[in-house]
A and B are shown apart, each in its own frame.
Chain A
């Protein structure tokens, strides 16, 4: 195994392990903090896969904004900071069985399909801000603009939803 493979395996282990903690920990705030570890490890994976700009966007948007948003939501819904009993539903065995089934099906089909396929990272184009931006603003301009309209719609929707209806209903 090369150094890149070892590093990627370590980062993948960190991502999967902390993701397991995200879905199993009894402390709700700790789940959000473990999510930071998962998303940070994934940003490292993107860097190893030569997607530099995506890695920094991941750090900025996910680790920065999304986790803060989740922590704010936990705080506003008065989530207890201590360990709490009953954070999982009664259908936990069913959920665990289904998750194991999904993992087994996906991993076995991936191993069957891509067993000896290699990514050649030595002369791959690094997805820097320049190359990604060029692709984004030449081939992907229309989806980009549509996405901006979607973000505007989501913004308006979130404001309408979270506005207090007590003051004036109409």
Chain B
């Protein structure tokens, strides 16, 4: 089999993951883009392991490590996403601008805060 087959598939998957991370607004879908990129790397590792006939199977073992690290990353990432949802009632990363340093962002935060406190007051 041509080595180019797995390599091209993994390159395309990686660029699709890049698009998903940059273009999606929902934080969970951004994490899905990250998973696609990690899987593209895994396919590369496995392909080169088979191609190079590695006696210590470094490609396949590293793939297992990447899968484990990805699981850990996803667990932590989703915990953070759920915490953001608890405090903001949304996980739209376009509107999460607390760490931004522009005046427009400050106004947006003030407006969000006003809306949020207004709703909370109405419920009471």
- B-binding residues in A (CB < 8 A): 2, 4-5, 8-9, 12, 15-16, 19-20, 22-23, 28, 31-32, 35, 38-39, 42, 45-46, 48-51, 53-54, 57-58, 61-62, 65-66, 69-70, 72-74, 76-77, 79, 86-92, 94-96, 98-100, 102-103, 106-107, 110-111, 114-119, 121, 124-125, 127, 131-132, 135-136, 138-140, 143-144, 147, 150-151, 154-155, 157-158, 161-162
Contact = CB atoms under 8 A, between A and B. Distances in A.
**Residue of A4, A88, A115, A121 ringed by the most chain B CB atoms within 10 A:** A88
A164 to B, nearest CB: 8
Contacts of A121: 1, 50
A135 B57 contact: yes
Interface residues on B, range: 35 or more
A94 B60 contact: no
Interface centre among B25, B50, B73, B82 (most CB of A within 10 A): B50
8 contacts: A15-B13, A49-B49, A91-B22, A92-B23, A107-B8, A115-B4, A116-B2, A139-B58
Contact of A158 (B24, B69, B76): B76
A102 B71 contact: no
A22 B19 CA distance: 11
Interface string B23-51: 11110110111011001001100110111
B63 to A, nearest CB: 5
A42 B6 CA distance: 10
A9 B5 contact: yes
Interface in B48-72: 49-51, 53, 56-58, 60-61, 63-65, 67-72
B110 interface: no
Nearest to B3: A117
Given A5-B2, A103-B12, A158-B75, A42 B39 contact: yes
A15 B9 CA distance: 8
B5 A117 contact: no
Contact of B19 (A23, A42, A138, A144): A23
B83 interface: yes
A120 to B, nearest CB: 8
